Structure 1
Amino acid sequence: MVQEESVTTLLPSISVVVPNLNQGQFLEEALLSIINQSDLDIRIAVMDAGSTDNSLAIIKKYEQHISFWRSHPDNGQAAAINEGVQKLPPSDYVCWLNADDTYLASGLTKMAEYLELNKHCSVVYTQAYITDSTNQIVNEYPTIDFSISNLSNYCIICQPATLIRSNAWGNVNGIDASLHMCMDYDLWWRLLRQGKIGYLHEFTASSRDHEGTKTRNNKERHYIEAFKLLKKHIGYVPWSWCMSMVIETKIINRDLTSKIRIRLRAAYEYLRNKL
């Protein structure tokens, strides 16, 4: 009787970087959501920027699942993510999960399966939830099908619900470490030159909205950085972004051109009378 030869199947490998600074109240949920993904070879790097809360205790609790971690002041979130990718062994795919966000069950697995089947895509994004400080779902993130027009006009991609092909990441040299608010938005534009951006109609992750988020506490800075990136990548700032800035910040920034300030002020006065 001839014995059948065993077949070894290599699992897709993923480098997951977790940047963290004093997010100990959320960090354990984030780490568990990575560790509990199935059918993947996952390498985790936790890049702690010198937390003074319980973050280090949590990191040490799950140290057996973490390939690399360190804790000291660094040059910001973007630089920490790039560093984390470099510290991990080469992988098929790359992503990062902020310490206050989470993956859904099999979320990473679904994204990896999509990229395994769609070799022409440099990155995939999916549907995602918005959760509160207790990780309860409060809304759906407004993702829509990909097009250059949609990417130009709206934040259609929820960063936690993304997975990037490693060679594409390497070709664009990762994240631009000079950016602090819109590093992911800039990355999508640069990855678009490496291959198509795929959209998977499934929920794979949750983005947590709470009082301590950078975006909530730095809205004006977020828009100014986004405007600069839009001018860099498409040559102008779409009106939809200007309207969003008026609605969210209620601020007309003095650094904008006079023409834009006048248009924004007119839109603001209109909306103030209508809302």
Structure 2
Amino acid sequence: MGDPYLTVIVPVHEDVSEIAETIDSILTQDYPWIELLAVDCSVHGNPDLLTALDRYGGKRLRIVRERGLTRTAAFNQGISLAEGGLLGWLNPGDRYLPGAVRTAVQALEANRSWAMLYGGACYRNERGDLTAPYPTRPFDPDALMEDCFLCQPAVFFHKEAAIAAGKADESLELCANYDLWIRISKSFPVGYIQQCLATTRLYDDENAKRLWKEKGLSEVFRLSRKNYGTVAWKWAAEYAECYKSNEVSRLFEQLKAHGIFKPSAIILSSDRYPDNWLPYHANITLQMDPADPVHVLRIKGSHDFLSRFKKLHFTARVNGFQVGSYEAAGDSFVIEIPIRCSLVYCNVELHTHERFNPAEQLGTSDFRDLGFVAEDITALTAEEYRFYQTVQRGL
């Protein structure tokens, strides 16, 4: 039996760079049974592909024009057109290291049960310098739920396995590879070798960070729910880190919108004024699911005139029973009131011992008896509070 044939699929758009280096890294491999299938999605055709065609000829390089396809759809088209029973998937800017293909093919031949193999990889900067190893590790299906430790250009897989897994999800743009690795691994054995097989470009600019924050993590949430029915806290914590400037209540609204936490308690009413001041004796009414009750009511407060009092002192009651006393010495502070209630409705009373009346103490026309400014009020279930504490400590 002869050596297996490998097709390396490279989706190409107009706004790419380093495509020539990617092509060279594929077609200069010392493994002869290889073809490069470039799926050109650009509107006018990528000139670097035509230059490569002149250089290498059409024997091992095929260019397929599929104008207007997304990168993921272009990859799927490449699977359909590939002549090889083994596949690789590179993006412009990715590069195979010398001998990578022969090493991967030999490992797959020696381990016939593996449907997919991946090896080590390194990051490369815009100057082509290797900067750091990609954090690959031996395959662990549980760990894959919370970390994509397979580096795309260092992955080789059987065409039949990709087809059986349903090919790449074309609704995903940034994380289609991660999703495909998960689905293949759910049905087939996966192998790992430590040898470094490829390099990938590390895009560390602000545009890349913004794209990951606004689109990448949302895709991770979707594919996680699809494949696992839930989202690992590690991904949710990364999202929280990206949006750490948001108030806690807003952060949990976003997490719930992404399905990380189910809709839970709501603040049905409160005495907070439109300018966010709370009266010195304030009431907050919660509505909750008794099966998943509120664990903590978190209030972030501040007081611009705290120097007049040195400290603020508070007493909290839940449904008439005192649950805690607190004090605040800084301009900004957080009060966490434990809620021991499994009813649908719960009333929280917060009494600020130092009454502030702007008219009496500052000579203004504001005669309200105030406590402090409640910048944010968040009702957290036990699971949400554990997550919040985990994020605060850092994973």
Fold agreement, TM-score > 0.5: yes
Equivalent position to 2:71, from 73, 77, 91: 77
Distance 1:76 1:24 in 2: 14
Distance 1:69 1:183 in 2: 22
Distance 1:32 1:149, change over 3 A: same
Equivalent position to 2:230, from 212, 224, 236: 236
Deviations 1:61-81 (A, max 9, x none): 345154421345322011101
**Residue 246 of structure 1: CA displacement?**
2.8
- 8 Å contact kept, 1:103–1:204: yes
Equivalent position to 1:104, from 76, 97, 101: 97
**Residue 256 of structure 1: CA displacement?**
2.9
- Determine the structure 1 residue equivalent to 2:82: 88
- Determine the structure 2 residue equivalent to 1:3: none
Q: Which amino acid aligns with 1:165?
A: H
Percent identity, aligned pairs only, is 23
Distance 1:112 1:217 in 2: 37
* Residues 1:130 and 2:252 are matched in the alignment: no
Distance 1:213 1:194, change over 3 A: farther
Between 1:57-66 and 1:182-191, the stretch displaced more is: 57-66
- 8 Å contact kept, 2:31–2:101: no
Distance 1:253 1:215 in 2: 25
**Residue 169 of structure 1: CA displacement?**
1.7
**Residue 188 of structure 1: CA displacement?**
1.2
Distance 1:104 1:249, change over 3 A: farther
Deviations 1:218-264 (A, max 9, x none): 11211111111111211211111112223356474854317749759
Which structure 2 residues correspond to residues 145-160 of structure 1 after superposition, within 5 A? 145-160=138-153
Q: Which has the higher contact order (CA 8 A, sep 6+)?
A: 1
Distance 1:257 1:178 in 2: 21
- Determine the structure 1 residue equivalent to 2:265: none
TM-score with structure 1 setting the length: 0.84
**Residue 44 of structure 1: CA displacement?**
1.2
* Residues 1:225 and 2:225 are matched in the alignment: no
**Residue 31 of structure 1: CA displacement?**
0.3
**Residue 198 of structure 1: CA displacement?**
0.8
- 8 Å contact kept, 2:237–2:391: no
Gaps (5+ residues) in structure 1?
A: 1-8
Distance 1:51 1:267 in 2: 49
* Residues 1:27 and 2:19 are matched in the alignment: yes
Distance 1:21 1:176 in 2: 19
Distance 2:187 2:150 in 1: 17
Equivalent position to 1:43, from 19, 35, 47: 35
Distance 2:47 2:205 in 1: 16
- Determine the structure 2 residue equivalent to 1:139: 132
- 8 Å contact kept, 1:181–1:214: no
Distance 1:12 1:40 in 2: 10
- 8 Å contact kept, 1:24–1:58: no
Higher fraction of strand: 2
Between 1:141-150 and 1:253-262, the stretch displaced more is: 253-262
- 8 Å contact kept, 2:97–2:199: yes
Distance 1:163 1:269 in 2: 36
- 8 Å contact kept, 1:144–1:156: yes
Equivalent position to 2:392, from 264, 270, 273: 270
